Amino acid sequence: MTTMESTCTVCDGTGWKIVERAGLSGAERCVCAAATRARDLKESSNIPPNYEQASLDNFQMPADNPVARQGLGTVLMQVRSFTREFPTKTRPGLLLIGEPGTGKTHLAVAAMRALLDKGHECLFYDYQNLLDRIRSGYDAASGAADREAYRAALDVEVLLLDDLGAHRVTDWVEDTVTAIITHRCNQKKPLIATTNLTDEERVRDFAMPGGEKKTIRERTLAEMIGTRARSRLHEMCRVVNMPAVEDYRVRRVR
């Protein structure tokens, strides 16, 4: 802290304090240095403004639906233990799967915030936006930030990829996603990801106008990001399946 009114009284703003141990004095990191680091990390973490407040503590349980309440309670516990135990040797990542509006991004950001508080460097990327930036990075006219995006996705300590698979698959997309996930998997670098694609083959019945029913096979994660990326995700992530709950965005406006 550098401003007058917030200068740390313990270390006088140096980030170091003198400690006496067994008659010897030495320097030790002051707690304010950790706080400053957490703040700097948070500022560069790219959390979108509408998730600025998302935390594990303000994740609400539906009062009117006991089944959903229990399901979300379990999910919240899983995410909490993920952040508490982070980083584990096996499966250091987290994959949240579920329907739109069930709170996946909220929980992913909340988990990321808990890791930032623990001093881990984290970066939020919307999947589609990351792919767009990587693609435009090849463009000579693009800014340095776009060219950096791919490097950052590979190298940052913890990467949050939001809405994985929300992009039409091309060979280019599949190769790029596989490259990022493979690199991170090989380097044992944690990934937090959310998706509303199903992980297992699933069909769904739709009522058509006129009363007839149509059965549609849902697109799967493997189809959208490729089987190799999907396989590695399972290798490196704890998988959390969101329960069937009403879309929070709909519930909120009622």
Ligand X SMILES: Nc1ncnc2c1ncn2[C@@H]1O[C@H](COP(=O)(O)OP(=O)(O)OP(=O)(O)O)[C@@H](O)[C@H]1O
What type of residue sits at position 226? G
Site string for Zn ion, 1-40 (x = CB under 5 A): -------x-xx------------------x-x--------
Q: How far apart are CB 6 and Zn ion at their closest, in Å? A: 10
Q: Which is nearer to ligand X, 93 or 101 (CB)?
A: 101
Quick one: 54 or 114, whose CB is closer to Mg ion? Answer: 54
| Residue 83 touching ligand X (CB under 6 A) | no
Distance separating alpha carbons of residues 165 and 223, to the nearest angstrom: 9
Closer residue to Zn ion in complex, CB, 25/215: 25
> Contact 237/108 with Cβ under 8 angstroms?
no
d(CA 133, CA 152): 11
In angstroms, what is the minimal distance from the CB of 190 to ligand X? 19
CB 110 within 8 A of CB 54: yes
Is 195 a binder of Mg ion (CB under 5 A)?
no
Query: Exactly one of 103, 165, 190, 226 binds ligand X (CB under 6 A); which one?
Result: 103
Q: Which residues pair with 231 in a beta bridge?
A: none
Whether residue 135 contacts residue 173, with contact meaning beta carbons closer than 8 Å, is answered with no
Could you tell me the two tokens for 228?
Answer: 């190799």
- Name the one residue in this structure whose structure tokens are 């739709």: 206
Report, in Å, the least distance between residue 102 CB and Mg ion.
9
Of 105, 176, 178, 198, the residue at the interface with ligand X (CB under 6 A) is 105
Q: Residue 30 or residue 225: which is nearer to Mg ion going by CB?
A: 225
Which residues fall within 8 angstroms of residue 181, CB to CB, at 6 or more apart?
191, 225, 229, 232, 233, 236
Q: Which residues bind ligand X (CB under 6 A)?
A: 54, 59-60, 98, 100-106, 163, 194, 196, 248-249
